[in-house]
Structure 1
Amino acid sequence: MTGHTANPRRHGPSLRRQLLQPLVWVWGLGLAVAVVGALWLARTATNRAFDRGLQDEVSALASRVVWSERGPLLDLTRQAMELITWDQADRNAFALVDLDGNALAGSAEVPVPHAPMRREARGQPLLFDDEMQGHAVRGAVFSIMSPMLDRMVTVIVVETTQRRAETVRELQISMLLPAAAMGSLTFGLLGWGIRRGLQPLRDVAAEVSARGPQDWQPLSLMRVPAEAVPLIERINRLLDDVQQSVAVQRRFIADAAHQLRTPVSGMRVLLQALEQEMAALPLPAADAGWRPILQQLRGSSDRMARLIGQLLSLARAESTLTIDADLVSHDILPTVREACEPLVLRALAAERQIALEVLAAPGQAEPSSVVARMHPLWLGEVLVNLLDNALRYGGQHIVVRVRAGTVVQGGGAEVIVEDDGPGVPPDQLPRLFEPFWRGERADLRNDGGTGLGLAIAREIVTRLGGTLEAASRPQVAGMRLTIRLQG
């Protein structure tokens, strides 16, 4: 048998991640290509500029070579020579050499290219790399021929590469910083664009979350991306199917309960007639046999009649409160008193007690009215069900507390029905409002309950826009049911 993982994935990766991940790869690759290209372009452009300067310099020096009876001479003033060789960052030098590589003018430390290169440099300057006094240098060589003596001399100009490297570095930095800023901005705009594109889906999710459990209206297609329209339309069709299915179930429950009322009422009439006839018969010895049977039949018929009545109440609550609940602000105290009055008499007959308390805010007098948005008929139905539940399963003392809107945050009202009975075990408390749930071994109890009272109460309170919550031991002394209504 294979085991289950502790935290199984309930869904795939987010759509934002699926959209962003390939774009991040493309963005990263493009950024890398841009960075490499910027580095290469900065190095190439800088080297070309410096090389062009060397070629111009060697060409200029070659133009100053004059031929005399003593041989070739470099016609330069002292100031011109100092200007050529002076530089704060680099060491520059030049030389004029003959065909054998002997220096005729300039610095003897200047590296001399090999003879084939010097011959090749006739008519155009050539570039080369070498070393001078342990430093890497870049040089240009230009050979010229004597117009009459058929003699060749070569002009060589070299410079160290420190300033060239610094210029390359500065240019690379000046190109990389805007590229990095633009890349970061592009990445941010990419994430913002994806988030903005997915916002309509989040709006749909927020709309669904804000809806009540009975709101099956179609979701709006406004601002929904075209790619998500088929999904929203399918959800709308599903909502419509659910609404129709629930409507069919409600009609079935209402029709079934309505149809069952007639035979159950007839059964109760027949039982009463049978009981009267049996009592009129001279059968005193058989009393012990038929009376318990008739009592069980009467109890079963009463329970069936109560179940049918509650099913009808549930069906009417669902249909009426869905169509028009007439939710306006009312003083709930008359409704609470009216709902409690018949049950107070029932409690007194059973030697039990129901008390009504109206609570006020600290430092204030007891309010004469407690206003909340509700429907008087259905709030009374809720209170009857809660008090009936307390009389069936609670203790000797039952208290109904009403709190004004000044106590409840946000206004409205709070109605609490509390008893000192055994309550419900904590592990069974979440099932308290399930239809037909009556606790463990309900089949052994003959309390006349149907398991629908609390389910109907929560359904009505929810449709009134409020909440119904339960608490039991050890949090409270017995069982507490709290109704919260909006202001």
Structure 2
Amino acid sequence: MKWPPADAAAAPGLIWGLQRRLLVLLLLTIALIGAVSVVFHFQSAGAVALLKDQRLLRLVPLLADSVVVMNAAESNPALQDEPAASADRVEEPALALLLAPPVEEFLQEHKGMSAFGVFDAQGSQLLGEDWLPTLLPTTDDAEFLSVVEGGVTYRVVAQRMRSTAGELIVMLADGSDAQQHWASSVFTRVLLPNLVLFAVAAGLVAWVVARALRPLIDLNQAVEGRSPRDLSPISAESAPAEVQPLVASLNRLFGLVNAQTEAQRRFVADAAHQLRTPLAGLQSQVEAWAQAARSMGGGDLLSLRADQVLRLRDATRRTSQLANQLLALSRVDAMGGDEQAVQQVDLAELCENILGLFLDAASSKQMDLGLEIEPAQTLGHAWLLRELLINLVDNAVKYTPPGGRITLRCGRAHSPTGPQVWIEVEDDGPGIPASERLRVLQRFYRVPGTAGEGNGLGLAIVDEIARVHGTHLHLDSGAQGRGLRVRMALDAIAH
């Protein structure tokens, strides 16, 4: 009895598609910013490395000038106290290192991350760290190389210089070069922070986007969960300003469709209502003529007139039935999705009342119209359920051959969703082929080759009534594969 059906609460694909696009675009923007940061960091490391290379180049000449030549006495003060006789001895020169202030400041500033070396022209080391490589520049230009020592990558410059101590090869190493350590530092300084930022931003962006799109999702669910007949305006109070024009357009469209639908319903209802009274009077007159024509008997002329009156009677009956069905269909359409005016309905009592309406029609065709009922109560529109049974029994009486069998049933059953009640009409007439059972529920559709007169509205009305009650019809073959059985299940209530 509730609308919408269970499958109407489907995921709003359009909204989620928009949310995914926003997430992808925002996260791609964050990723692009991270990539630009990596490139910028690399360029900054290159600029710093260039400055450090230039500093090393400036310090190399100062390191060469720091190498001085001293005689033995100057290099060893103990020899200064020896007797003068020893002055006749040949003194061998010695090299000493008197660091220039800029070189000393560099070594102190990068203590543990810097080194120097002094080599003679042939590559023999005179001063400095032993791990420095032997590099013999062929020109006076400085040469750079990278050396790994103790897990530290050093930027080493070597240059052949001429000094007071002769031709020397001096080396200066710097282990704090940003570009040499870029590959290892970029992860801790750039990639790792950006990855953390990306993860945090992804969560925040997903939350913010979901919050921002919540009004759209609510609007989508409000429209998705509506009955097709619910054309009331949508509230635009909670909708964002950008969506309010869309809501206003939808409301205008709903208003136009609702006005057109109401006009159509009023026309059908008024037309059917206006036709009922004159058709009822006409039918009563024709019924009287038909009965009089039968009772008079007589010649061919009278028989011809009697046949014409009978055909007129049948046409009047069909027209009157059509007007009643159109009126019923209009009322069912108007009540679609309306949960008001429901009441407790005793299906057993309803079946008994309907049976009494068709006893005469069934007897005239020598039919066995039976009743198999048990206590069954539900909530629904009593007059609609009555109209449903009238249409089902009327169809069974109309299309079942004389001498046939029709049974009206109701009962209780259990289902996975809870206790249910059901009503059923079964006959042993020609039935409906399985391939046609869906099509016969369409309005004004009749199975090709069907005998008798009809408007194709009976089962359409029954199906519409079932929809109003939140259920559907089951069409199947009757007993022993003959005829037609139509069943409808409803929610049960305690009795």
Query: Is the TM value for this pair above 0.5?
Result: yes
Q: Please give the alpha-carbon distance, in whole angstroms, between the structure 1 residues aligned to 2:301 and 2:40.
A: 112
| C-alpha distance 245-441 of structure 1, shift in aligned 2 (>3 A) | farther
Could you tell me which of 455, 460, 465 is aligned with 1:455? 460
Q: Which amino acid aligns with 1:138?
A: V
Partner of 2:383: 377
| AA of the residue aligned to 1:332 | L
- Greater mean deviation of Cα atoms: 459-468 or 323-332: 323-332
Deviation for aligned residue 1:234: 1.6
Provide the rounded CA distance (Å) in 1 between the counterparts of 2:186 and 2:338: 72
Query: Where do residues 37-56 of structure 1 align in structure 2 (5 Å cutoff)?
Result: 37-41=40-44, 47=49
TM-superposed deviation, 1:255? 1.2
Instruction: Tell me which residue corresponds to 1:36.
Output: 39
What is aligned with 1:73?
Answer: 96
1:138 is matched with 156
Count of matched residue pairs: 439
Deviations 1:421-458 (Å, cap 9, x if unpaired)?
A: 3322233222212222222145xx433x2222222222
In structure 1, what is the equivalent of residue 405 of structure 2?
A: 397
Structure 2 CA distance for partners of 1:274 and 1:347, relative to 1, 3 Å: closer
Checking the alignment, whether the CA contact within 8 Å between 1:62 and 1:142 is kept in structure 2 is no
Distance 2:205 2:479 in 1: 55
Q: Which residue matches 1:123?
A: none
Contact residue 67 and residue 95 of structure 2 kept, 8 A: yes
Greater CA drift, 294-303 or 347-356: 347-356
1:355-370 equivalent positions in 2, closer than 5 A: 355-358=370-373, 369-370=375-376
Q: Give the superposition deviation at 1:95.
A: 0.2
Could you say if the C-alpha distance between residues 283 and 315 of structure 1 is closer, same or farther in structure 2, counting changes exceeding 3 Å? same
Paired position in structure 1 for 2:135: 111
Aligned to 2:421: 413
Contact 2:426 2:478 in 1 (8 A): no
- In structure 2, relative to structure 1, the CA distance for the partners of 1:432 and 1:278 (3 Å cut) is closer
Deviation at 1:19, TM superposition (A): 4.2
Identical-pair percentage: 28
Q: Report the CA distance between 1:377 and its aligned residue.
A: 2.2
Whole-angstrom distance in 2 between the partners of 1:481 and 1:423: 10
Aligned-pair distance for 1:253? 0.8
* Partner residue, 1:347: 362
Using the size of structure 2 for normalisation, the TM-score is 0.71
Q: CA RMSD in A?
A: 4.7
Contact kept? 2:294, 2:306, Cα under 8 Å: no
Paired residue for 2:171?
Answer: 157
Give the distance between the partners of 1:102 and 1:327, measured in 2 at CA: 110
Q: Report the CA distance between 1:304 and its aligned residue.
A: 0.9
Q: In the TM superposition, what is the alpha-carbon distance from 1:112 to its structure 2 partner? A: 5.9
1:486 is aligned to 491
What letter matches 1:453 in structure 2?
Answer: G
Is 1:333 the counterpart of 2:348? The answer is: yes
1:168 matched to 2:182 = yes
Q: For residue 233 of structure 1, what is the aligned residue in structure 2? A: 248
Instruction: Give the distance between the partners of 2:286 and 2:479, measured in 1 at CA.
Output: 45
Contact 2:273 2:327 (C-alpha < 8 Å) held by counterparts: yes
Contact 1:221–1:232 (CA under 8 A) maintained in structure 2: yes
Aligned-partner Cα distance in 1 for 2:381–2:321? 23
Distance 2:421 2:433 in 1: 28
Q: Which amino acid aligns with 1:452?
A: L
Shift of the alpha carbon at 1:376? Answer: 2.1
How much has 1:136 moved relative to structure 2?
Answer: 9.4
Flag the 1:307–1:112 CA change in 2: closer, same or farther, 3 A.
same
Distance in 2 of aligned mates of 1:389 and 1:160? 103
Q: Aligned with 1:216: secondary structure? A: coil
Q: Give the alignment partner of residue 322 of structure 2, picking from 307, 313, 316.
A: 307
Contact 1:467 1:485 in 2 (8 A): no
Post-superposition shift, 1:155? Answer: 7.8
Q: Deviations over 1:154-194 (max 9, x none)?
A: 78334498998884332122232332343344345445544
Alignment equivalent of 1:388, drawn from 377, 383, 394: 394
Alpha carbons of 1:173 and 1:278: their partners in 2 closer, same or farther (altered >3 Å)? closer
The 2-side partners of 1:157 and 1:102 are apart by: 13
Query: Whole-Å Cα distance in 2 between the matches of residues 461 and 109 of structure 1?
Result: 96
TM-score w.r.t. length of structure 1: 0.72
Higher relative contact order (CA 8 A, sep 6+): 2
Residue 465, structure 1, aligned to residue 473, structure 2 = no
3-state SS of 1:37 partner: helix
Deviation at 1:94, TM superposition (A): 0.2
Q: Unaligned regions of 5+ residues in structure 2, if any?
A: 1-13, 72-92, 100-106, 148-152
Alignment-mate amino acid for residue 464 of structure 1 = H
Residue type of the alignment partner of 2:157: G
Contact persistence 2:155–2:177 (CA under 8 A) = no
Work out the CA distance in 2 between the residues paired with 1:23 and 1:341.
72
Q: How does 1:164-313 map to 2 (within 5 A)?
A: 167-175=181-189, 176-187=191-202, 189-191=204-206, 193-271=208-286, 284-313=299-328
Pairwise CA distance, 1:153: 8.1
Picking from 120, 134, 144, the partner of 1:129 is 144
Residue 289 of structure 1 and its aligned partner are, at CA, apart by: 1.6
What is the deviation of 1:29?
A: 3.2
8 A Cα contact 2:64 2:163, kept in partner: no
- Paired amino acid for 1:206: Q
Distance in 1 separating the partners of 2:65 and 2:248? 85
Equivalent residues of 1:55, 1:140 under 8 A apart: no
Instruction: Report the CA distance between 1:393 and its aligned residue.
Output: 2.6
- Quote how far apart the aligned CAs of 1:316 are: 3.3
**Residues 200, 224 of structure 1: 8 Å contact kept:** yes
Amino acid corresponding to residue 425 of structure 1 in structure 2: P
Give the residue type in structure 2 aligned to 1:289. L
Tell me the distance in 2 between the aligned counterparts of 1:457 and 1:385.
7
- Larger CA deviation: 304-313 vs 163-172: 163-172
Corresponding residue SS for 2:422:
strand
Alignment of 1:84-123 (within 5 A): 94-95=117-118, 105=127, 110-111=134-135
